[in-house]
Amino acid sequence: MSHVLTTAAELHDALVSGRYADGGPVRVLDVRWRLDRPDGRPAFVAGHIPGARYADLDTQLAEHGDPRAGRHPLPSPGRLQAAVREWGIDDGDTVVVYDEAGNLSSARAWWVLRDAGMTDVRILDGALPAWTEAGFDLAEGEPGAARPGTAMISPGSMPVLDVETVLAHARDGVLLDARAGERFRGETEPVDPRAGHIPGAVSAPTTANLDETGRFRRPDDLRSRFAALGAEPGTAVGVYCGSGVTAAHAAVALVLAGYDPVLYPGSWSQWSQDPGRPAATGA
């Protein structure tokens, strides 16, 4: 993971030349999604980075079916392969992902594509605001269909926890909960069946990994933050959130800080489905 982030200027230069000097031909994915506004396509049509394709988090970066699997299970290989073809991604491409709010949703695409075996996936640091603040233009409208991509995916490159192993990880290592503190403490639960958190987890809201400009904090700042939460060097660090979306954002921050995080994709939305599973509340 020599490259995780890219700047707006670097992306602009790559789009002008057609490729990254230290990578391959560039493909850009717009992954706008919010819990209160899951369909980001209208915002994409209103204005997006030129050449970008819209990636639907709900239908392309997640699977749907048994609610016991959580709200955003990882996409099946067939679903993701179809999406990669639709996005026009070939083997050897450099894929850049972004959204409009600190990359809280586009990090999901980064994680899913990295897990699928794509070796060069980068996040636009500062997200769409960084692009517009740099003075670069936006394109409007719905682009035509891309030439079908030829990249073949092979999921399983990234380590994961499941519902059977996450509690033991919280006991034997460090398990970070990336949700807002009030949800961790069980003071409110607007989406999932029960309030609270997985016993043994530590509250680590992922928004604290960003600075005031919406960019990721410096690696040494992130290391200090995670060390203060108990993640000393060599510690096994797992992360989860509500449904596995912002947990991917926390995983990016952990990678930047020099950790090898393990993601629990089912997250609280899966854990809380079974009333027989324990739940803790409070700080």
Rounded CA-CA distance 110/41 in Å is: 19
Q: Look at the alpha carbons of 63, 237, 179, 161 in this order and tell me if their dihedral is positive or negative.
A: positive
Task: Respond yes or no: is residue 76 known to be catalytic.
Answer: no
Cα 205–Cα 94–Cα 157 angle in degrees, nearest 5: 60
- 30 strand-pairing partners: 54, 98
Rounded CA-CA distance 10/114 in Å is: 21
143 burial (CB, 10 Å; 0-12 / 13-18 / 19+) is middle
Choice among 97, 241, 245, 251 that is catalytic: 241
Q: Confirm if 96 and 7 have CB atoms less than 8 A apart.
A: no
The SS3 of residue 25 is strand
- Sequence length of the chain is 283
Q: Confirm if 236 and 253 have CB atoms less than 8 A apart.
A: no
Q: Confirm if 261 and 236 have CB atoms less than 8 A apart.
A: no
What order do you get walking across the sheet with 94-98 strand by strand?
5-6, 121-124, 94-98, 26-30, 53-54
The residues that are catalytic are 241
